[in-house]
Amino acid sequence: MSTFVETEPTQELEPFKGVKKVPYEEYFTSGHRTCEGCESAQFLRLVAKAAGPRTIVVGATSCMYVANTSYYSTVWGLPWIHTQLGAGGSSALGTAAALRALMRKGEMKKEPINVIAFCGDGGGADMGLSAISATLTHPDYNLLIVLYDNEEYGNTGIQVSSTSPYGVNTTFSTPGKVKRIMHNRWKKNVAGLMLAGHPTCKYVGTVIPSYALQTMNCVRRALSIGGPTFIHCLNPCPKGWDFDPMLAYEIGHLAVNTGIWPLYEVEKGELKLYGKTREIAEGRFKRLPVADYLLKQGRFAHFTNEDVEFFQSQVDDMWNNWLIPGVIPLRKQAASTAPAA
Amino acid sequence: MATLTLPVKEQQKVLAQEALITGSEAIAVACKLANVDVVTAYPIRPYDTVMQYMSQLVADGELDCEFIVADSENSQFEIVKHASVCGARVFCGSSGIGWMYAMEVLTVTPSLRVPMVALVGNRALDDPGAFGVEHNDALAVRDLGWNLVWVDTAQEALDTALICYRFAEDRRIFVPVAISCDGAFLTHSQSLVKLPAAEQVKKFLPKYNRGELLVHPDNVISVAPQCNEDWVMEVRRQNYAVTERACDVLREVYAEFESIFGRKYGNPFFEEYRTEDAEIVLFGMGTLSTPAKVTIDKLREQGKKVGLVRLRWFRPFAGAEIAKALERFRAIAVLDRDLSLGSPDLSGVVATELRSALYTNAKTRPPVLDFLCGLGGREVTVPDVEKIVEITFEAAAGKPQPLTQWIGLRG
């Protein structure tokens, strides 16, 4: 007997079988004021394209609010409404609840409508964590929450959040004469938290715009599977991370190829790594040194060799010692070959 | 006091049943009659008994709605806010510090034109912890565009909840309204309530229709973009325009209510009790009316001419009507079950607003004394009210009294 319940029908969104099969229609179009090379905007463009026109989007306060939707302009070719910083999870739930009630009571034409709420890492991993978690416990409201993670509070001019990497330079974690590392916290494993903590949630996935086709297909799978779902996207940010905008795509690949950002999907409890992450896990690709990734970004320019080594050791630990690398940090029951203490 | 004006046959049709219910349950009954679509609950005393009743109604199949228990008041109000913009009629509520946890959402619902109806089971704000009644929770949103009404009986609670839906969902208004029931004294006390028939409610409440503001794939709009100094002021002006119309719309709605249900509330904004020949009046909100009326009846037998004006609608504040009603008295005693620390004359919220309304609207200047009382759920007793009346008669006789006093304080 499954823990997963049947839900109202969702749209049947088949995966795109290749870049050339992706439709031309844009539902996130021009009219935004995002930075050159903004991967968060790229991500939302992919989400909108993957979802199609029978969709309602709710957007929490973030870069993707102010930069995309400053009156008179809007990027959205879909119905869109703003919500508060910590309300990504609750706004999605409210939207889905209204549609369900009104359709059941015959007040609205019955059809599967995609409900997508987006939030940044500030709004999702910090302020809105509780609301997202509560929403994922509801087994039968169809909705998708996407957390676009540029590892900072970007809209307010770059400050640390719970998903900011160790040691990063931001305006709230400034390297100084006495303290070089003001942010000594490791990145919160949000997707792991979501998939481990909500056993009836049918879909949790991690994506990155450098893998554009896979990102769209993850979104389509999440929207089709039924119930509340969650996608965490890593979004290189030229402004906050301090790199030339033309490198955004490459930085994304480096995040994956160093093993720092694992790509995976969990569908009804089954874990599937994909892309280079899968090759790393299967031993077919050797992880690049984290220095290749860190030292291309000005936000780590203050790092000493020790800092880079520490960062490397954490990533190594994740890949060597976690029960499921990148996903669950419980230590493996290792048969120790070390001499007894 | 509500009186029936319909012929007997009509009365029997309208008054389908009677029930002995609390203020909270009366609100739940109103929501059932209003056929709400989405309700969110979060536990906090003393409002949350309404949600216990709602849960039972849903479980028993008496009400078809989504009933969601949220993870916090902030989420609770966000969920119904978004349900409302998608076309669902919603109900929500909180008390005291829980209402404050939702403050971010309460702030944006007026400008988003979300006509939600919320029950505030008035409760003192922590810290120190207290479950009992104070009015500062609901009053905290008074500047933000919410409409605010206080009721003092379960009957008035039920009737006013229906009125709130009709009023809030009127396109000329289309902002949220909070209906306040004193914690414990009204939320948890039972009285006999006439329950209106479902057909009458259907006549009174048209379908909730957001029109071109509906968030739906057939209506591709972007709602609430960033506006800054270019457009925020104009958006505020739109909410201001609502307040310019609010009193007239409210009068219309109450007249409609009377014609359909037969219960007459007279002027919507306040109730008058034995004011016809009064020399002084008490002025306040909520269940203060009970000790006030009991004391008034007692003092009347002694020949003392005192009455009560019980304010219902705090927002819109019908300053002109209130001034017209009060200016003829020789002195006014405001009972403030709230504080406004640091205010002019250190008076509570109601006295400060009343004095402001009198200053611009009244032709005379009777002394307006403020009495801070009943805080933290402390009972306002008959001796308390007698003392208030005594002090106010002194003021009426020309002997100056402190503008603000505490009543019922220890020591």
Q: Is B225 on the interface with A (CB under 8 A)?
A: yes
**Confidence (pLDDT) at B12:** 55
Confidence (pLDDT) at B11: 56
- B230 interfaces chain A, CB cutoff of 8 Å: yes
Which tokens belong to A82? 């703003």
- Domain co-membership, B26 together with B94: yes
* Residue A154 pLDDT greater than 90, yes or no: yes
Nearest-Cα distance to chain B for A207, in Å, is: 26
B61 touching A (Cβ < 8 Å): no
Q: Are residues B143 and B250 in the same domain?
A: yes
Contact list in B for residue A80 (CB cut-off 8 A) is: 221-223
Determine which of B72, B75, B107 to mutate to test the interface with A (most A C-beta atoms within 10 Å).
B75
Total number of domains in chain B: 2
8 Å CB contact between B95 and B44: yes
Report the C-alpha gap between A12 and A263 in whole angstroms.
Answer: 24
Tens digit of pLDDT at every position of chain B (411 positions): 344 455 665 555 555 689 999 999 999 999 999 999 999 999 999 999 999 999 999 999 999 999 999 999 999 999 999 999 999 999 999 999 999 999 999 999 999 999 999 999 999 998 999 999 999 999 999 999 999 999 999 999 999 999 999 999 999 999 999 999 999 999 999 999 999 999 999 999 999 999 999 999 999 999 999 999 999 999 999 999 999 999 999 999 999 999 999 999 989 999 999 999 999 999 999 999 999 999 999 999 999 999 999 999 999 999 999 999 999 999 999 999 999 999 999 999 999 999 999 999 999 999 999 999 999 999 999 999 999 999 999 999 999 999 999 999 998
Phi, psi of B284 (to 5 degrees): -170, -175
Name residue B92's beta-bridge partners: B118
What is the distance between the alpha carbons of residues A282 and A277, in angstroms, rounded to a whole number?
9
Two structure tokens written together for B238: 């739109």
Residue B157 lies in a domain: yes
Residue B12 covered by a domain: yes
**Domain range enclosing B319:** 270-406
Question: CA-to-CA distance for A64 and B384, rounded, in angstroms?
Answer: 57
Q: Is B379 exposed, middle or buried (0-12, 13-18, 19+ CB in 10 A)?
A: middle
Distance CA B234, CA A82 (A): 19
Tokens 């959402």 map to which residue? B105
Within 8 A by CB and 6+ apart from A54, the residues are A11, A111, A112, A113, A114, B217
- Residue B360 touches chain A, beta carbons under 8 Å: no
Contacts of A76 in chain B (CB under 8 A): 220, 222
Answer whether residue B411 is part of any domain.
no
- B-chain CB neighbours of A86 within 8 Å are 74, 104
| CB atoms closer than 10 angstroms to residue A43 | 27
**CB contact B341 to A (< 8 Å):** no
Please check whether residues B324 and B371 belong to one and the same domain.
yes
Asked whether residue B245 falls in the same domain as residue B325, the answer is no
Phi/psi of residue A265, each to 5°? -125, 145
Greater confidence (A328 vs A326) lies with: A328
Same domain, B63 and B81: yes
Q: Running DSSP on this structure, what letter comes out for residue B216? A: B
Out of B234, B264, B294, pick the residue that ends a domain. Answer: B264
pLDDT digits (tens, 9 = 90+) for A266-319: 999 999 999 999 999 999 999 999 999 999 999 999 999 999 999 999 999 999
| CA distances (Å), origin B394, targets A113, A168, A294 | 68, 70, 79
Q: What is the CATH number of the domain that holds B329?
A: 3.40.50.920
Give B136 to chain A, closest Cα distance, Å.
Answer: 24
The letter for the amino acid at A13 is L
Quick check: A71 and B227 CB within 8 A? yes
Task: State residue A326's pLDDT score.
Answer: 81
DSSP string, B312-346: -EEES--HHHHHHHHTTSSEEEEEESS--TT-GGG
Average pLDDT score over residue span A8-37? 96
B71/A contact by beta carbon, under 8 A: yes
**CA nearest B47: which of B186, B151, B245, B198?**
B186
Pair (B286, B149) in one structural domain: no
B377 and B250 in one domain? no
What gap in Å lies between CA B286 and CA B311, rounded to an integer? Answer: 8
Give yes or no: residues B275 and B167 share one domain.
Answer: no
pLDDT tens readout for residues A122-144 = 999 999 999 999 999 999 899 99
For A36, the 3-state DSSP assignment is coil
**B86: closest CA of chain A, how far (Å):** 6
What residues of chain B lie within 8 A of the CB of A44, using their CB? none
DSSP characters over A89-150: HHHHHHHHHHHHHHHHTTSS-----EEEEEEEHIIIIIITHHHHHHHHH-SS--EEEEEEE-
Q: Are residues B252 and B312 in the same domain?
A: no
How far apart CA B149 and CA A253 sit, in angstroms, is: 58
B39: three-class secondary structure by DSSP? strand
B280-284 vs B222-223, strand pairing mode: unpaired
Among B243, B264, B285, the domain-final residue is B264
pTM given for the model: 0.95
Provide the mean pLDDT of chain A. Answer: 96
Which chain A positions have a beta carbon within 8 Å of B226's beta carbon? 65-66, 69-71
CA dist list (Å): A290 to A148, A186, A211, A315: 22, 15, 20, 8
In chain A, where are the structural domains located? Answer: 19-331
Question: How many CB atoms lie under 10 A from the CB of residue B67?
Answer: 18
CATH code for the domain of B239:
3.40.50.970
Is 80 exceeded by the pLDDT of residue A196? yes
The pLDDT-based confidence of A208 (bands split at 50, 70, 90) is very high
Which CATH number does A19-331 carry? 3.40.50.970
> Percent of chain A, pLDDT > 70?
97
User: Amino acid identity, residue B112?
Assistant: L
Please identify, among B220, B245, B264, the residue that sits at the C-terminal boundary of a domain: B264
Contacts of B76 in chain A (CB under 8 A): 90
Do the beta carbons of residue A122 and residue A79 sit within 8 Å? no
Q: How many CA atoms lie within 13 A of A69 on its CB side?
A: 24
Is there a single domain that holds both residue B92 and residue B190? yes
Q: Measure in Å the smallest separation between the Cα of B228 and chain A Cα atoms.
A: 9
Beta-carbon separation of A99 and B86 below 8 A: yes
Same domain, yes or no: B244 and B301:
no
Interface pTM, i.e. ipTM = 0.95
